[in-house]
Amino acid sequence: MKITIRKGIKKDLPNVLNLIKELAEYEQSLNEVSITLQELEDDGFGKRPWYWFLIAEDDNKIIGLSFYFIRYSTWKGKFLYLEDFFIKSEYRNKGVGSLLFEETIETCQKLKLNGMMWQVLDWNTPAINFYKKYNSEISNKWLNGKLTKSQIKNIKIS
């Protein structure tokens, strides 16, 4: 195995979309994925990128993804928000995740951000244990809230 970690580029996006779907399937939510390849291209490689990503490769085969954006906290300032972090199942527990996560941490350091944040499902014990190796805090105090595009569209503003 010859693992390399690199910045993601536009031509990676078809594989990135496949990894996003694999992660969603692992999280039992594949039916929730509605993003298109065109949206990923526009949002990541348009005039103003909304996200960035790192890729883990084994012999030029994409096997992992660290997908992030910059989040602003009114209490703490700029944070790297790790939206998706995924390693293909056959490459787990072989050090690939550590290499990719540490490169993500290094990105956070280079950008002089105030920290790094992410979410993890409460049943995903392997992921929780992985993050705890880095002395990270896993909180169960906050509940997630959201409105979807269709919900927002149907709200009558007075």
User: Is 131 one of the catalytic residues?
Assistant: yes
Nearest to 8 by CA among 60, 56, 49, 63: 56
Give, in degrees to the nearest 5, the angle at Cα 97 between 39 and 99. 100
Provide the terminal-to-terminal Cα distance of the chain, rounded to the nearest Å.
60
Catalytic residue among 51, 68, 81, 131: 131
Q: How far apart are CA 114 and CA 109, in angstroms?
A: 9
Return the active site residues: 131
